[in-house]
Each structure stands twice: as structure tokens, then as C-alpha cells.
Structure 1
């Protein structure tokens, strides 16, 4: 089979590309078609562990892709795999990113200048995309940022170069809530050369609040200027349940139901994998807040130290904000503290980096552990069972949890502290530890709150399933897009 390619472009970052791509994946999958998502290059510290490609020994190793493509694959009812996001950039600093090529870290590419890197990865991108096209009926492609960044157009490997390669039928989406939506749509279209303008089949207005009839005559005027119709006006919908592309939850929609638990997630600069907290947002009565200062933690029942792409640097930032004292005081009063991956490493006594992976630093000293960074990165899907966990996390005792690991650090009991009698309680073999009092818990397992058994144990309830979220996205799109557009996009010439 040779797939028809539908591509979602945006006038800006945050316009709604990932959301719309996910909805399209589920819509076409519901029609019985074989569907796969694709994004040539993603820049995000939100990553998932998926099936890799076979090596020379026909062994398939796990690899990393962006979380958005992972969820899009699930929406498409496809097995997530590295070809769906062949290049993943994981920012480590303002001017440096770790490059993940076909699921594996490639240090040589990380040292290669940006424009030179593009030509080196393009063959991998086309090979992955061509293979997916050969195996599927529909490939739904997500662009990145804007396709009309004229300083980047010549080295583009994620927007119009991809669209031209497969002659994709493109939708261009804009965030009308920001204002200037029609100017954004027209300006983006106008900056493209004629052969790329021809690939734009429809404009989408996203996050609209108000009476859509008041938009007239702007859609008609825009079509007269461009020849491209506005095919959908999507209302603002905050509670759709899909994790945001960068894991950022909307503070204006903090919770629903009577709040019984406030969870403060420390938002250091290089935080990662925040999409794993989306299920908490979907549980009635839980309020999630960002914590960038001590005041943000006021009234919190839990303080969570999430994953980090630069643990030592983020720990330094945390101290500069005074949040180290806040976390320590919260723990001293018996409040719950949870560290996940990099957050677990921060809770220990020390970070030791003999290979220049992340950096050396003293830890927060809330768990008698030490972490040593290793050049070999652990990337794996994991299932493990909690042993006896003491109060206030006792409900996790005996719970089998499924998640994933992505880390360079290797963590163990601090030997000198053990001799002094300060021993961490290992509550998940090699993956999780608890302090003697029991209120501080650290774990390497990402995705805990996506596990139904963990949510049930901690809160006695469930969040909506991902399948129901995907179905809701598809239904929402079908309700608000012009009739016949979705079918027309996949009609073969």
C-alpha cells in the first residue's frame, strides 16, 4: 500500500498541531484504515520509550521518541516506534541539545552545527517516512513551529520539505485566542513559494471563544486572497484530557470537583516528561500547580520533583529560588514529597559525574542515596511491583506498576550513611526508595500516574482512559469541521 499523507502545519508553536494530528489519527483509524503518525524532528524533553529498529544482529532495542508522537500512535491504534519521530532534540541548555537519531543518542550529531546536521539526518527522515507510507493507508504528519520561517526555509527538514517529499495535503492551524489569526494565516501562506502554497488545502481556527458567525466576512475574504477555505473553527476546549506537547497544564483550568489534594510540581528550567502528570489533572478533586517560587507551594499537600534533562543545573536553580528550604520544611512537617527520575536523584546526598554527563552537585539530603552518572543511557519499558511501602504512601504496597525509564544516573544507598545507620527503604528493586519516616519517596519509574492500579491505590478513582480521550478528540473534530473535508483529504487522485 502507498499511504495518503495528511499534514498539520501551524502558524506558530502552540497553535494546536499536536492536538489536531492526534484527532486526525483517531478519526481515520475509526474508519478502519491503517494509520501511522510522523514528525520528522521534534524538540522536547518529553519522551517515551518505544520499539526501536533491528540492528545488524536482528535484535530490536528500545528507543526514544517525542511524547506527542507516542500518543498519536496510540490514537492511530498503531504500535509506537522510532520511525514515527526519527529525530528528537532534547534541550540540555539554551544553546545545546542532545540529539536522538532513530531512538538512540548520537553524540556526533550533537556536536555538528545546526545547518550541517540537517543534511546528515535527512536521509534517515525520508527512509523512515517512505517505509511508513509503504505500510499504511494514511500517514498523519505533524510539522514544527511555523513553515514560513524564512531564515530556516533553506535547511528545513520538518515542514514543507517533508510536505513536498510526499505531496502531503496540508491543514494550517492558528490559535485565534492569541489574536491576529487571519494575519497569521495569510502571512504564513504568502511567505511560501507557489508550489508549497498549492499544498495548503484548508485553514483551521483553533481555541475560538464566542459566536463563530461574528467572524464573517473574514473567512470569505481570506479565501478570496489565497484560494484556501477556512475548513474548521474549533472552540476553546481545556478539559480534552490530552497531555500538552510540552507537558504544560493550564492554570486557568486547575481542577474540577471539590479540591481534596493540591499537588505542586516544581517547574525548574529543564524539567522533563511532565506529560505523565496529565492523569492527575483529569482526576476530580486534584489541583495541579506549577511551583517556581516558595509561595507557589503554599498549601500544597504534595511537592513533586519531576524529571530533569539537566539535573545538576536544575538543582542549582532550585536552590537559587529558595525552593530547597521549602521542600525540606515540607518534608520536616510530614508533607508528602515525591521525586521522579531526576527528582529522585536530587533528593539524595550527592550527584557524582566522572564522565561529564550532567555535573557534580550536593543533593537535598532527604534520602541517604548517591547517584553516579554513567555514559550508557538506560532506555527501557519497565514493570515492577512495590514492596511494603509505609505511611503515607502505604496504599502502593503490593501494587504492580508499568512505566518507562530514561536516565544516565545510577542510584544506590550511600555506603557511609548506611554504616551510620541511615538506610533508605528500597520499595521497588533498584528503582524506588523511601525515607525512614516514610513521607519522602523517590522512584525512577516514569508514568506512574498513567497506571490505573496506581491511581486507584492512591485516590480510589480512575482518570478517563486514553482511548476515551482519543475518541473525544475525534468526535470534537468531526463536529466542528466542514462536512466532507476529512474524506476529501485522503481521496487518492
Structure 2
């Protein structure tokens, strides 16, 4: 068994659970502890592919980086990828087991929970500390039965819990007290303290509230974490907006539609953080501005998102954009949309077998959705310019070109990947993470019409942000005392009075 396990739960989604687990992973590594992140159940359209071809939530891949580990499927054994408002694709230990509606999955939870417990115990045998991230809030009364994401899991493995709340949302004391009050007595007993996240201002003005909170609940506030200006950590689910920049005409203008089922939106993080690129995200019913480059991103429901784009006027926009010399990149689902036809013989996306949809028709390619996902990490070189590129594939469609074409990438295994139009205006690829490698980023920006004067290393930026986060948490939490509390909890649980 590990020296200790600790679960971080939140009063709401986006309270800071992923961020705190990331910071604690790095801080425990610095204390020479072998630590591993774990999230029993994740619901997100932003995923990552492990080296051995399994699919996990993006947040656990980031936390693995903080712990200096390669992402592994046991770090996130249950991943739910919504494909409608009431249903999702269910992925157990890295492999899709099918689509389920909310009621169906609720019945399936007993099977899913065993998979989560198996993964946890494998990690617990290998590492000194397991840092567990909850999902949403533990106080969702309608989801308490068969819970495997929050307190239900904590009770199953008997671990202590921290509850984090975002003060920037307002009502932080009501969030914390209300959440604790809605827990059972045994669940309350395993809460060892609170963390308040994203605080701005003078801590002395908050102190009376902290004192009242401890007196009222009997639980200490373990830390008040400050708001980190300009902080970047790959988002688990919410689409991150671009940082505010000056509106210089020298910047490359990139426009990206945000579709109802946009997936793997971290693909453009390197672009939105680049000092010489302006990324504009266009949602439903918003005007589409002029652009140098348009990116059609990945999608969990390609056919319905394609219909959404048509309804929003993107087809006419793209035709005009290309007529005037603009550039277009299609990534994964966006790549499929640029083709001629999309076929869904098994009804994988909309439960209607035999569906066929016309694509935008800019690439001579047809795609057929298959039951088996393509999950693999890839590396190679851009054929034009030979810049090194790394990425990962995660898609159900199998595409075939209907005429000879120029590929975009030569993979290290000798295969050709992607598409580049004869006029050089359109490229498409199944590789996510297209812009993460500095050489590829520079080459693609130059192709899009911008010769940058400032180098931007996205990977180094991501690592620097993890360090900045960890250092700030170190300043505002007593990490050694936290470790001791967790160890004491484990000892008391093993030897009850």
C-alpha cells in the first residue's frame, strides 16, 4: 500500500481540483516521493493518448508531466465523452465500450467502479503517494447512489479528502459549508480541511471568514491560493479563451469555430499563447471575422457539428476565404469535414445506421466511421521544410483519398499522413498536437503567411507554468504538514480506536 492517498474534491466544476493535484504532484516529487495522479471518472472531450494506445483525460496527462511520469491508462480508468446532451461514449481503461445514456450508465456504474478500483490498487502497489482528483461536486444529491467519482470512491478506499472552492465565483463560504453539510457523517469525518482558490486582495480582510469557517465546521483552511494572472494549464474541458493582446495588424489572424462537440481544443493552445498570433474563437450566432488562417478543429460528433457549421454560414465563409487566398487547416474531425463524404454505416454518431453526409468538398477524400478507434502516438517530419512534428491520433473514421494527392507529413514509420492541396492553401491531418513542437509551429505559421521574429517554445512554457503553480502553492500551503495529516489519517483508519 502507498504511504498515503489523498483525494481533492471541489464544491463545483472548475473549482481548481485539476490545478491543485498538478501542483501537489510536482511538490511531492521535489520531496523525493514517488507520486502518481489518479482520477476514477472523468467527463471531458479533451483527451490524451498513452504510449501504448489508450485514451485518458487530458488533465491526468498534465498531472503525469508534473510528476515526471509518462501518462498511463490506470491514471484515468473511466472516461466519458459526451456526444449528445443526454448520452456519452463510455471508455473503460482506455477502450470504448459503447455509447450510453445517463440512465444506462447509472446502471453500469457497478462494473465501471470495479475497473476504477483495479486501476487504483495497481497504482497503489507501485507508488508512495496517490493523488486523486474528484469530479464536479460531491454534494450532487441526485448522483450520490453508486457514486464512483467523489465520496463513494473515497469511502471505498478509505482515504482523506480536501475540498477546494473558487472564491472568484463568489459565495465561497456558502459553497464550502453547504457542500460539507450535504455529506454523510462518515464522509464529513474524512474531510481534513479546505482550500480556497483564486483569491485576490489583502488576506487580512479574509481572515475573519477563515476563523468563522474553522469554528463553524471544525475543519481548518489548509491554504488560500492566490489568483495567478495569465496562468496557463491545459484545460480539461472548458474551451480556454485567448489572452488579451494588443490588436496589432502584424499579428497572424487565426479564426476557429467553437462547435457544440468540439474536442481536443488544446490543439490551438500554442497558437493562442504565441505573442505574434491572435486567435479568435467564434461561437454560435457570432459574426465570423476576416482571417489569415481558419482552423476546423476536432469533433466528437462530426456530422452534427458539420450541420452546425453550415447553419452558421461557415461553408460560404470558407469558399470566400479561399477565393481571396486564405489558408485552412482541418484537424481530425475538421479534416473529415473538408472531404467529400462522411458515412456512418453503423450509426455510431446519431444511432441511425447508414447515414451519409456531404462534406465541404475541399479535399478529395471520403470517410467511413468504424467501431474501432485509431489510438496512437506519432512523430515524423513535415514534408515541406522537414520540420520535426509530434502528435497523436484519436478518431473513429477511416479516410481514403479519391485521387492522387500530396501528403503533409512523413511519419517515422515511413508512412505518409495528411493532405496538402496543390495550391498550398489547404492542409489536413489526423494528428492532434500539431503546433506543440517549436519547429512545426514555426513552419506552419510561415506557411500561413507570418514570418515570426520571436521564438515560442510551447512545451517549455507549459513546464514553466507547472513550476510557477507549484511554487505559489508551496508559499501558501504547508505541504509537509499536509503529508503528515494524510499519513496520520491512514494510520488511524488502519488501527481504529
Looking at structure 1, the residues matched to 479 and 50 of structure 2 have their Cα atoms a distance apart, in angstroms, of 36
- Stretches of structure 1 that go unaligned for 5 or more consecutive residues are 52-60, 389-396
Structure-1 residue corresponding to 2:398: 410
How far has the Cα of 1:431 moved from its partner? Answer: 2.5
Does the residue aligned with 1:163 lie in a helix, a strand or coil? Answer: helix
Say whether the 8 Å CA contact 2:258–2:284 is kept in structure 1: no
Does the residue aligned with 1:364 lie in a helix, a strand or coil? Answer: coil
How far has the Cα of 1:450 moved from its partner? Answer: 1.6
How far has the Cα of 1:300 moved from its partner? Answer: 2.7
Number of residue pairs the alignment of both structures matches: 468
Looking at structure 1, the residues matched to 286 and 119 of structure 2 have their Cα atoms a distance apart, in angstroms, of 47
Structure-1 residue corresponding to 2:376: 380
Say whether the 8 Å CA contact 2:15–2:165 is kept in structure 1: yes
How far has the Cα of 1:269 moved from its partner? Answer: 0.4
Structure-2 residue corresponding to 1:35: 35
Query: Measured at CA, do residues 350 and 430 of structure 1 come closer, stay the same or move farther in structure 2, by a change above 3 Å?
Result: farther
Tell me whether 1:461 sits opposite 2:447 in the alignment: no
Structure-1 residue corresponding to 2:244: 254
Say whether the 8 Å CA contact 1:109–1:117 is kept in structure 2: no
Tell me whether 1:241 sits opposite 2:232 in the alignment: yes
Give the alignment of 1:45-444 within 5 angstroms.
Answer: 45-51=45-51, 61-107=52-98, 113-251=104-242, 253-255=243-245, 260-293=251-284, 296-358=287-349, 359-388=355-384, 397-414=385-402, 418=403, 423-428=404-409, 429-444=415-430
Q: Report Cα offsets for 1:194-223 as digits up to 9, x if no partner.
A: 111121122111122222222231111111
Structure-2 residue corresponding to 1:57: none
How far has the Cα of 1:149 moved from its partner? Answer: 0.9
Higher alpha-carbon deviation: 17-26 or 428-437: 428-437
Query: Measured at CA, do residues 473 and 336 of structure 1 come closer, stay the same or move farther in structure 2, by a change above 3 Å?
Result: same
How far has the Cα of 1:382 moved from its partner? Answer: 1.0
Q: Report Cα offsets for 1:61-113 as digits up to 9, x if no partner.
A: 52100011111111111221111111101111111111111101112867971
Does the residue aligned with 2:81 lie in a helix, a strand or coil? Answer: strand
Q: RMSD of the alignment, in Å?
A: 2.1
Looking at structure 2, the residues matched to 85 and 470 of structure 1 have their Cα atoms a distance apart, in angstroms, of 20
Looking at structure 2, the residues matched to 245 and 304 of structure 1 have their Cα atoms a distance apart, in angstroms, of 20
How far has the Cα of 1:467 moved from its partner? Answer: 2.7
Query: Measured at CA, do residues 276 and 179 of structure 1 come closer, stay the same or move farther in structure 2, by a change above 3 Å?
Result: same
Structure-2 residue corresponding to 1:14: 14
Structure-1 residue corresponding to 2:26: 26
Structure-2 residue corresponding to 1:394: none
Query: Measured at CA, do residues 6 and 196 of structure 1 come closer, stay the same or move farther in structure 2, by a change above 3 Å?
Result: same
Query: Measured at CA, do residues 203 and 250 of structure 1 come closer, stay the same or move farther in structure 2, by a change above 3 Å?
Result: farther
Query: Measured at CA, do residues 327 and 480 of structure 1 come closer, stay the same or move farther in structure 2, by a change above 3 Å?
Result: farther
Say whether the 8 Å CA contact 1:256–1:284 is kept in structure 2: no
Q: Report Cα offsets for 1:342-376 as digits up to 9, x if no partner.
A: 00001111112222233521111222222122222
How far has the Cα of 1:449 moved from its partner? Answer: 1.6
Say whether the 8 Å CA contact 2:342–2:367 is kept in structure 1: yes
Looking at structure 2, the residues matched to 430 and 323 of structure 1 have their Cα atoms a distance apart, in angstroms, of 29
Does the residue aligned with 2:329 lie in a helix, a strand or coil? Answer: strand
Looking at structure 1, the residues matched to 377 and 201 of structure 2 have their Cα atoms a distance apart, in angstroms, of 44
- TM-score between the two structures when normalised by the length of structure 2: 0.89
How far has the Cα of 1:293 moved from its partner? Answer: 5.0
Say whether the 8 Å CA contact 2:9–2:134 is kept in structure 1: yes
Structure-2 residue corresponding to 1:393: none
Structure-1 residue corresponding to 2:431: 445
Say whether the 8 Å CA contact 2:48–2:57 is kept in structure 1: yes
Does the residue aligned with 2:466 lie in a helix, a strand or coil? Answer: helix
How far has the Cα of 1:281 moved from its partner? Answer: 2.8
Does the residue aligned with 2:377 lie in a helix, a strand or coil? Answer: strand
How far has the Cα of 1:299 moved from its partner? Answer: 3.5
Does the residue aligned with 2:295 lie in a helix, a strand or coil? Answer: strand
Higher alpha-carbon deviation: 280-289 or 11-20: 280-289
Looking at structure 2, the residues matched to 249 and 256 of structure 1 have their Cα atoms a distance apart, in angstroms, of 18
Looking at structure 2, the residues matched to 298 and 312 of structure 1 have their Cα atoms a distance apart, in angstroms, of 24
